[in-house]
Structure 1
Amino acid sequence: MPTHHGVRTALRRPRPHMTPRNADVAALTHRLTARDRWLIRLLHDHDVLTTNQIIALTGRARRATTRRLSTLHSLGILDAFRPFLTTGSSPYHYTLGPAGAAILAAERAVDVRALGWRPDATSRIAHSPWLAHDVGRNDFMVRLAADHHRPENRMTLWAGEHVCKALWADHIHPDAYAHITHTPTDGGRRRTVAFFLEHDTGSMRPERVDAKLTGYADLAASTHPPTSTLVLVHASTPGREKTLRALLGPTSTSLGVPVATTNATAHAADSPLADVWLPIGTRAERTTLLGLRQAFPQAGPAPVAPGTWTPDATDPQTHGALPWPPTPPLPPSAVGPAAGPTPHREAR
C-alpha cells in the first residue's frame, strides 16, 4: 500500500467522457457478472479500493483480475487513478464510474443523485488530503476480510464510514464497524466479535483520539440496558500505540468503554486476526481478535434497529437512516458470464 500520496498530482486512466445519463445500462446487463455487481456496491460503500485490495478480496489471479478491472473501466463502470509517489509507482485506485453509478441507481430504483454519487467523485477522492488514511483503513479491513489462512474466521459485516455516519453520527464517527464470526471446525457454537475501528495514522493529536471515547460511552448509554461495543484502535507505529495507550487507559476505565490496541508493525508479518491485540485494563499480553471476546465479555454489538443488516427488496426505505444494508465484504461464489474484449494490460 502506498504511504506517500501526492495531493497535487494523480494520474487518471484515460477514457472517453461519459456520464450516468448517456450510459446504456440496458446494454451492459449481459456484460456484468455477479462479482461485477458486488464490486460496484462495494465501491459505493467504501469509495476507493486498490488493485491489490480487490485481488485479495476476490482471491483470483492478478492477471485475470487486472484484465477484468480494465474491461470494467473501459465500459465506464469503474473509474481509476494512480496517486503520485516521489519514489516507485502506486497501484491503480478504483472508484465508482458513471456507468457503475447508473447501474446501481437502476438496481435500487432511484435517481443517481439519491446515491450521493457526483461526476467529480473520483477527482475529489484522488486529491483528498485523507486519501492515505482512507486507503490505509480499507487495507486493514481487507486484510481482515481476506485472511484465507484462518477460514474458520470470517468477516460477515463491514459497515464503512458512510453507513456509520448514517446510523451513529449523533454520538460517534468511527472509520468502520464490523463483525468477525468464528465457526469452529468441530461444529461447535458460532461466536461473533463486533467492533468499531479507529484507524490512526499519527496525524491527529493523541488527545483528540482519547476524546472520542466519550462518544462511545454516550452511545452505550443510549441503549437499554446500556451495552458497550468494543473499540479497536489501530496505530501506525509501536511508539504511537504506546502514546495512545497512556491516554486511553484511564479514560477507557472511567467510562467503561472496552478498548484494544495494535500497530501496523505488530501484524505486518501475520494478520490482524493473530495475537496482535493488547486489551486495555484486563491483561498484559496480546491476544487474538477473537480472544478479545473473553477479555471483554460485557461487550456486545452496536445498537441498530432490527433488520438493519438484512436487505429488503420490497421496500429499500425500511431501515430509515440506512436505506440499503452494507455490501458483503467477500464476493459471491457464483460467477456469471465473462465479458468484454481483451483489454490492455494494466501497469503494476
Structure 2
Amino acid sequence: MPTSSPATRLLALYPHLTTRDRALLALLDEHRVLTSDQIMRLQFQAMRTCQIRLRTLLELGVLERFRFARLNGGAEPWHWTLGLAGAQFRAGVTGRPTPTERGHRTHVIRLTASPLLPHLRTTNEFFVRLAHAARIGSAMRLQRWWSERTATAKFLRIRPDGHGLWTAGGRTVGCYLECDMGTEPLTRVLTKLDAYEELVAAGGPRYPVLFWLANAEREAHLQHRLRDIQPAVPVATATHDTDVAGAVWLPADGWRRVALRHLDSDHGPNTASNPNWLNNALDLTDQTGEAGTTFGAEDPADTAETPDAAATARVGTPDNADGAGGVDSAEADADTED
C-alpha cells in the first residue's frame, strides 16, 4: 500500500492551522522557545484556551514541548518549540531547506540541553512583557521584535540579545537589549558598549542600550561604573522584576526613572549600516511582512474566542490578568497535563 509523502502529510495539516497558529509558528521560528504562560500573554485571553490549543498543535506534530523538574519539587513550565511539521512549514515560508526528522530531533535536543536556555527564556520574557502591555493597553505597540540572530544579521556590527521598536505616546523608540543574568563580570559587560558606539559612528541608529539586570544590587554597581565612563551611546538599566513598559528605566546620565518612550533615541541616517532605511525610505516595521509578529490592541490575536472556547476557558483556570509574570512562573498546566 503506497505511503504518503512528507509534503502530502504536511499539506493535510493546513485545514487545521489558523492565522493565530501560523503567527505562533513564526514567533517560535524567530525566538526558538516560549513557555505556555508567555504564549498565553502573546496570543490568548485565558490560560485554559491556550492550553487546549497548544495540546492540539502538539498532537498534530506542529509543536513540541519539554520541561524539567524543579529542585524543590514540582516542574518548570512547559516550554514550546517547533515540531517537525512546524519546522517544515516554516522552511517553506522562508525558503530554507526542509529539515529531516533526524536533523530536527538533533536541533531540539541541543536547544533543550543548552546552558543558554535560561538566558533565552529571560530575553524573550522582556519582549513578551512589552507585547502584552501593548495588547491590553492603548496607544502602545511593539512593532518590531528581532531575535539576536536577526538583529546581528541586520546591524552587522553589534550582537544584542534582541532589538525592538516600541511606540507609546505618539513616539517610536528603538532599543537594544542586553539581558544580564549576573554571570559575567561588569568589566566584560561594559565592553559590549564599544560595538554600539562603532555602529553609531558608521551611520547606524543611535538607540538606547538597555541593560536588564538580575537584581538591584547589580544594577547599582553597573550604574556606578557607567557614570564613571560616560558612554557615547544612550544607556539605561532596570531589573528583571519590573514592568518594562513602565517608568522603570534609569538612564546612565540621569537620576529619575522614566518609561521607554522618554529615552534618547534616533533612527539614524540613510546609510548602508542602517537597516531602518529600505529603498531610501524609513521603514520602522518588523520587515517580515508576516501577520501576528507585531503587537497592539487591534491585533487579530486579541479577537474574542468562539463562544464554546470562551466558555471552556472560564472553567477551572483563571486568566493571567497582570501580564507581568515572572520568568520562571509555573503556569496552570504544570499539574494538569501529562
The TM-score by the shorter chain falls in which range? 0.7 to 0.9
5+ residue gaps, structure 1, are 1-19, 185-189, 313-323
Letter in 2 for 1:299: D
Structure 1 stretch displaced more, 125-134 or 302-311: 302-311
Choose which of 272, 277, 284 in structure 1 pairs with 2:249.
277
> Shift of residue 36 of structure 1?
0.3
* Residue 299 (structure 1) aligned with residue 284 (structure 2): no
8 Å contact 1:235–1:263 — kept in the other structure?
Answer: yes
> Shift of residue 260 of structure 1?
0.5
SS at match of 2:105: coil
Q: How does 1:1-348 map to 2 (within 5 A)?
A: 21=6, 24-87=9-72, 88-113=74-99, 118-147=104-133, 148-169=135-156, 171-182=157-168, 184=169, 190-223=170-203, 227-251=205-229, 253=230, 255-265=231-241, 267=242, 271-281=243-253, 283-292=254-263, 296=264, 299-300=266-267, 303-304=274-275, 305-306=277-278, 309-311=286-288, 327-329=293-295, 332-333=300-301, 346-348=333-335
> 2-side partners of 1:231 and 1:303: how far apart?
16
Equivalenced residues, count: 292
> 1-side partners of 2:187 and 2:97: how far apart?
42
> Shift of residue 140 of structure 1?
1.6
Letter in 1 for 2:155: W
8 Å contact 2:87–2:99 — kept in the other structure?
Answer: no
8 Å contact 1:259–1:280 — kept in the other structure?
Answer: yes
For residues 304-339 of structure 1, give each alpha carbon's deviation from its aligned partner in whole angstroms, at most 9, with x where no partner exists: 141584346xxxxxxxxxxx9993357634699999
Letter in 2 for 1:264: H
> 1-side partners of 2:159 and 2:287: how far apart?
22
> 2-side partners of 1:236 and 1:160: how far apart?
20
> 1-side partners of 2:333 and 2:240: how far apart?
29
Letter in 2 for 1:286: R
> Shift of residue 113 of structure 1?
4.9
Measured on the aligned residues, the alpha-carbon RMSD in Å equals 3.0
5+ residue gaps, structure 2, are 313-331
Letter in 1 for 2:144: L
> 2-side partners of 1:326 and 1:29: how far apart?
18
For residues 88-138 of structure 1, give each alpha carbon's deviation from its aligned partner in whole angstroms, at most 9, with x where no partner exists: 321110001100011122234442259xx8332221111110111111111
> 2-side partners of 1:166 and 1:326: how far apart?
22
Letter in 1 for 2:141: R
> 2-side partners of 1:197 and 1:67: how far apart?
33
For residues 200-242 of structure 1, give each alpha carbon's deviation from its aligned partner in whole angstroms, at most 9, with x where no partner exists: 010111111100000000011111xx65221111010000101
> Percent of pairs identical after alignment?
33
Please state which structure has a larger fraction of its residues in helix: 2
> 1-side partners of 2:138 and 2:109: how far apart?
37
> Shift of residue 59 of structure 1?
3.1
SS at match of 2:261: coil
